A = this chain, B = another copy of it.
């Protein structure tokens, strides 16, 4: 798709560097070593199955984007301490717990390109180890001792669960609107991005304006990420691995590419979508047809366009901070969120 765009342009300029996560990775590399040490240390238990199951997912090559947001935020505001390492680990534990429970909820077979934990260890252990990690997250926060951080992250956790239940009730509901969809991903994904980012300002004891700015950065970035994730599930050119393409389609999940293609479709096409989302058309040929319809109505490009909008809002939110390596890295991370999978 990047190729196609380049070819339609009148003048081909020197290729602009594609945005990457590299500046963010360098910015947070030292801190992430400490965070990873906390993660490894605190996922241990006398019950051997717990670190084995948790480790399957935790060492499974996730980007650890959320704890990275906490570290980047701390850099942005010039925080000098180390309290945020434990808190970033708590954020990753909450995220890991929700992934484990998601895999049970969705009956996933793949996660990050490997067999999902529920496939290897079964649903029961996967649910319980999720609970364990969730509890550990609150133990870590309590050790830190900031009631404000506890408030932010316990509230975010409740909102995430609400978002997941909301998504569940929207499943196989063709009439789900873009507004409803944005509410769902705002809760199930963006709330933790927002909280992860915000707590860096809390630890650094910045003012309200800074705290709000970091929260807004995280929330908008989270929405952009989720939109692109949802696009990738229908993108035959997508290079990003780790998920079975078409998972959302087969599960009858209402995501923006489908919402747009359905809204813009003919009567015939709408009938197809209704059947497909109800689960009556889930073959590979049906998936190909769905991808074709989504392409016909520019629904993938427009989903990415929506993501670009939120990424830009994320970048603008942190414009109140003076220019710095941290701010540049965070801005490029937002651009990367949109460009992923091309």
Contact A161 B101 (CB under 8 A): no
A165 surroundings in chain B (CB, below 8 A): 45, 47, 49-50, 125, 128-129, 132
Which residue of B has the minimal Cβ distance to A151?
A: B142
Whole-angstrom CA separation of A123 from B126 in the bound complex: 13
Contact B157 A135 (CB under 8 A): yes
A99 in the interface (beta carbon within 8 A): no
A127 surroundings in chain B (CB, below 8 A): 101, 104-105, 127
A59 in the interface (beta carbon within 8 A): no
Contact of A49 among B150, B158, B160, B169 (CB under 8 A): B169
Smallest Cβ distance from A48 to chain B, in angstroms? 8
A147-190 vs B, Cβ < 8 Å mask (1 yes, 0 no): 10011001101101110111011000000000000000000000
Number of interface residues of A (CB under 8 A): 44
A288 in the interface (beta carbon within 8 A): no
A124 in the interface (beta carbon within 8 A): yes
Whole-angstrom CA separation of A101 from B134 in the bound complex: 13
Contact B158 A136 (CB under 8 A): yes
Whole-angstrom CA separation of A308 from B140 in the bound complex: 37
Contact A155 B131 (CB under 8 A): no
A139 in the interface (beta carbon within 8 A): yes
Whole-angstrom CA separation of A50 from B167 in the bound complex: 12
Contact B123 A161 (CB under 8 A): no
A142 surroundings in chain B (CB, below 8 A): 147, 150-151, 154
Task: Describe A's contact surface by its main secondary structure.
Answer: helix
Whole-angstrom CA separation of A138 from B154 in the bound complex: 6
A62 in the interface (beta carbon within 8 A): no
A123 surroundings in chain B (CB, below 8 A): 104-105, 123
| Interface-central residue, A47, A125, A141, A160, by most chain B CB under 10 Å | A47
A208 in the interface (beta carbon within 8 A): no
Contact B128 A105 (CB under 8 A): yes
A45 surroundings in chain B (CB, below 8 A): 162, 165
Within 8 A of B (CB), among A29-45: 45
Smallest Cβ distance from A65 to chain B, in angstroms? 21
A33-75 vs B, Cβ < 8 Å mask (1 yes, 0 no): 0000000000001110110000000000000000000000000
A50 surroundings in chain B (CB, below 8 A): 162, 165
A145 in the interface (beta carbon within 8 A): yes
Contact B134 A105 (CB under 8 A): no
Contact of A169 among B47, B143, B164 (CB under 8 A): B47
A169 surroundings in chain B (CB, below 8 A): 47, 49
Question: What would 7 A/B residue contacts be, using CB atoms closer than 8 Å?
Answer: A45-B162, A45-B165, A49-B165, A104-B127, A124-B168, A142-B154, A147-B147
Contacts A123-B123, A128-B168, A135-B161 given; 6 further ones with Cβ under 8 A? A49-B168, A97-B131, A105-B123, A125-B168, A128-B164, A131-B134
Going nearest first, the 5 A-B pairs with the smallest beta carbon separation are A132-B161, A135-B158, A135-B157, A138-B154, A105-B124
